[in-house]
C-alpha cells in the first residue's frame, strides 16, 4: 500500500514525482480547501477518512490515518469515522478498518 515515510501511497508518490506541475496545482487546491474550512485539523481528517471509506479509496487511508493520529484522534475515533457511512453506503466501508488499524498501530 505505502512505501513512503509520510504514509503516502505509491501511486500518489508517482503522481507527485512524474507529474510535478499537476501535483503542484493539486496541492494548491487542497491547501485552498483546507484553509477555507471551518473544521479543526482532527475533525477534518476524520471526515476525510469517512469520505475515503465511503468511496472505497483505500490508497489514501494510511496517510490520513497518520494525519488524524498526529491531530490527536484516538484509534476508536478513526474506526468510528470510517464506519460512520455504513448506514448510507453499505458494507463496503467494512473493508477499510483493517488498513486503518494497521496504520494507526504501526506508528
The cell numbers describing 89, all together, are 453506503
Domain layout of the chain by residue ranges: 10-106
CATH dotted code for 10-106: 1.20.1290.10
pTM for the full model?
0.84
**Residues 71-83: pLDDT tens digits?**
999 999 999 999 9
**60-92 burial: b if 16+ Cβ within 10 Å, else e:** bbbbbbbbbbeeebeeebbbebbbbbeeeeeee
Q: Where are the alpha helices (DSSP H) in 1-107?
A: 10-18, 20-36, 41-55, 61-70, 75-83, 86-89, 97-106
Give the whole-number percent of the chain exceeding pLDDT 90: 83
Amino acid at each position: 500500500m505505502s512505501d513512503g515515510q509520510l504514509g503516502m501511497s505509491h501511486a500518489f508518490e508517482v503522481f507527485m514525482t512524474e507529474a510535478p506541475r499537476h501535483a503542484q496545482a493539486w496541492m494548491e487546491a487542497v491547501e485552498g480547501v483546507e484553509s477555507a474550512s471551518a473544521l479543526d485539523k482532527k475533525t477534518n481528517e476524520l471526515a476525510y477518512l469517512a469520505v475515503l471509506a465511503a468511496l472505497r479509496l483505500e490508497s489514501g487511508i494510511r496517510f490520513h490515518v497518520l494525519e488524524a493520529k498526529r491531530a490527536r484522534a484516538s484509534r476508536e475515533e478513526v474506526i468510528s469515522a470510517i464506519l460512520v457511512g455504513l448506514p448510507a453506503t453499505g458494507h463496503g466501508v467494512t473493508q477499510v478498518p483493517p488498513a486503518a488499524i494497521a496504520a494507526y498501530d504501526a506508528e
